[in-house]
Structure 1
Amino acid sequence: MTAQDLVLAAVAAIFTDFDVDTAKGLLAPDYIQHNTAVPTGAAPVLGFIPGLEQSGIALTTHRVLSEGDMVVLHNTYANAQALGAETLVAFDVFRVQDGRVVEHWDNLQVPPTETASGRSMTDGPTEVVDLALTGENKALVKGFIADVLHGGAPERITTYISPELYLQHNPLVGDGLDGLGAALTAMAEAGQAMAYSETHIVVGQGNFVFAASEGTIGDTPTAFFDLFRVADGKIVEHWDTVSEIPADMAHENGKF
């Protein structure tokens, strides 16, 4: 199986089929966990499966992209009280090695009933296309992260984002550069300025590029998981999940 096949099979075993034996065969025993509430190792995940089945949790995967040994899923969990809320939107990131899933990162957010753009946190295009442009698109997003998100040269934003088309799925941000600017200004005026400090993971496939970063909102340590769609050499669409990084975790692996 490919890395993507392995991950999809493991996720189905855990959240859809509730099949402990199959999941056990797909997860490495020393599975490295970065979900802040779950202990590390395969055993805790396997132990949760019967409870997940009883809870009625339902998983919908909206997007899948993979590069090398890394696989990113854009998911919605419904009936997700076992994970902390009725509904959660998530990016789940997995690393595969030697035919097993060996590491997992995630970032979960409760979706609001209304958004600034009128779009949900998960709707929009899903098909991975332009595979030949993966390297070029990944380089574009890396440049945007360095220059704009990390503040290296924010005035270059139109080098990366189309002034004519920028569709937004962050619940608090409207479409276009005007919507982004207005949201950032409002956050700063409220004492909740957003700052990215380090980007730990970048995964690209065709027209989609994903990045997992840490930083702050105000004084609060925060994880930013961002997904960008690229078309004609510009970033034209953005999805994300944002969550606080807690001081206390169920393991010593950290959020990243």
Structure 2
Amino acid sequence: MLNRNPADPGNIDGCFRTAALDRTRRSGGEQSACRIAFDEDTVNPVPTGRRARNSQVLQRSSALPHANQVKGILKMSPKEIVLSAVVALFTNFDPEAASQLPKENYIQHNPAVPTGAAPILGFLPALKQSGLTATTHRVLAEGDLVVLHSTYENAQAFGGQTMVAFDVFRVEDGKVAEHWDNLQAAVPASKTASGNSMTDGATEIKDLAKTAENRTLVENFVHDVLLGTAPQKITDYISTETYIQHNPMVGNGLDGLGAALKAMAEAGQPMAYTKTHLIVAEGNFVFTASEGKLGETPTAFFDLFRVESGKIVEHWDTISTIPAQMAHDNGKF
């Protein structure tokens, strides 16, 4: 069994959770039915099989986990390396190939998972029996950082039946070198303030030529609004016409955001960002990983913003407590 605290859903390596991308068992041994499918326009992965949605299947992803093919990963982009590592480690559960994919000094930031490559490999037998399934909704990359936005079903091992997560990986020398994650129990659309789920909405990555511009917009939004430097400038960043909200406690539009923040403050649980550690942008999507407090509780805020015509028009997030004790000395960030 995995060593975990069921009360803290953010305590298992998100890379582990991606273990069950629709695998199947067949007589005479176990063979993965998982392949990574990419939408022809968005280059966003989703599991094939029953979850496939008119996507082009790249057969190479299911083949990559074999040891004699791992060297080919060195020629891939960071996004391809991460997706290939997920298949090799947690779909085929191939110890020989898996041992070559993460760097030996792999740096772990999940609070409950020890740092290094050995703990990942040690979890493979248990993960093979875990029965989790995963759907990756969005993937974006900038430089050596790759962000996955995913849903995990049958995820009692991580704190609930259905969990939503952001996983961030850093790639170095063709291998996965570092990992951050943040999980939150999923709230169905029927129970959210906006009527939206925590993962639906736009997925297409476009406006690649505006990546730097959109990154700067979100950086300034974080500095002025989230960090409280100049909150009155919020309409400089968020559209006053369209603002689609996926935080389950917040309604759509600026009015919905204002009402939620006021309610939290009145309940003695004000939300305060204090520092942003990671920013990853690709086209119209910009991701940030920040720390702060929810009331008096140290909290991690992972946010994803979609930008259109120079304004933020859509937002997803996961929020989790930062524990005082961790299985390593690397910290949450």
Overall identity of the aligned pairs, in %: 68
| CA positional deviation for 1:102 | 0.3
Partner residue of 2:132 out of 29, 45, 57 = 57
Mapped contact 1:15–1:59 kept (Cα < 8 A): no
Per the normalisation by structure 2, the TM-score is 0.76
Mapped contact 1:10–1:22 kept (Cα < 8 A): no
| CA positional deviation for 1:20 | 2.7
Other-structure match for 1:18 = 93
Structure 1: distance between partners of 2:197 and 2:316: 9
Q: Which amino acid aligns with 2:205?
A: V
Identify the range of structure 1 (128-137 vs 109-118) with the bigger mean alpha-carbon deviation: 109-118
Deviation string 1:157-204 (CA, Å, 9 cap, x unpaired) is 000000010000000000000000000000000000000000000000
SS in structure 2 at match of 1:241: strand
Residue 2 in 1 paired to residue 77 in 2? Answer: yes
Other-structure match for 2:267 = 190
Mapped contact 1:55–1:81 kept (Cα < 8 A): no
| CA positional deviation for 1:17 | 2.6
Deviation string 1:231-253 (CA, Å, 9 cap, x unpaired) is 00000000000000000111110
How do 1:235-250 residues align onto structure 2 when only pairs under 5 Å count?
Answer: 235-250=312-327
RMSD: 0.9
Identify the range of structure 1 (145-154 vs 107-116) with the bigger mean alpha-carbon deviation: 107-116
How do 1:106-185 residues align onto structure 2 when only pairs under 5 Å count?
Answer: 106-113=181-188, 114-185=191-262
Mapped contact 2:142–2:281 kept (Cα < 8 A): yes
Structure 2: distance between partners of 1:220 and 1:17: 39
| CA positional deviation for 1:59 | 1.4
Mapped contact 1:52–1:82 kept (Cα < 8 A): no
SS in structure 1 at match of 2:100: helix
List runs of 5+ in structure 2 lacking aligned partners. 1-75
Other-structure match for 2:167 = 92
Q: Which amino acid aligns with 1:29?
A: E
SS in structure 2 at match of 1:55: coil
| CA positional deviation for 1:21 | 2.5
Other-structure match for 2:55 = none
Mapped contact 1:87–1:111 kept (Cα < 8 A): yes
Structure 2: distance between partners of 1:159 and 1:105: 30
Q: Which has the larger radius of gyration?
A: 2
Deviation string 1:145-165 (CA, Å, 9 cap, x unpaired) is 000000010000000000010
| CA positional deviation for 1:10 | 1.1
| CA positional deviation for 1:77 | 1.3
| CA positional deviation for 1:55 | 1.2
Mapped contact 2:162–2:185 kept (Cα < 8 A): yes
Identify the range of structure 1 (118-127 vs 238-247) with the bigger mean alpha-carbon deviation: 118-127
How do 1:203-222 residues align onto structure 2 when only pairs under 5 Å count?
Answer: 203-222=280-299
Count the aligned residue pairs: 256
Q: Which amino acid aligns with 1:7?
A: V
Structure 1: distance between partners of 2:261 and 2:216: 24
Per the normalisation by structure 1, the TM-score is 0.98
| CA positional deviation for 1:47 | 1.2
Distance 1:61 1:70, change over 3 A: same
Mapped contact 2:182–2:300 kept (Cα < 8 A): yes
Structure 2: distance between partners of 1:216 and 1:170: 17
Structure 2: distance between partners of 1:11 and 1:195: 34
List runs of 5+ in structure 1 lacking aligned partners. none
Structure 2: distance between partners of 1:16 and 1:142: 36
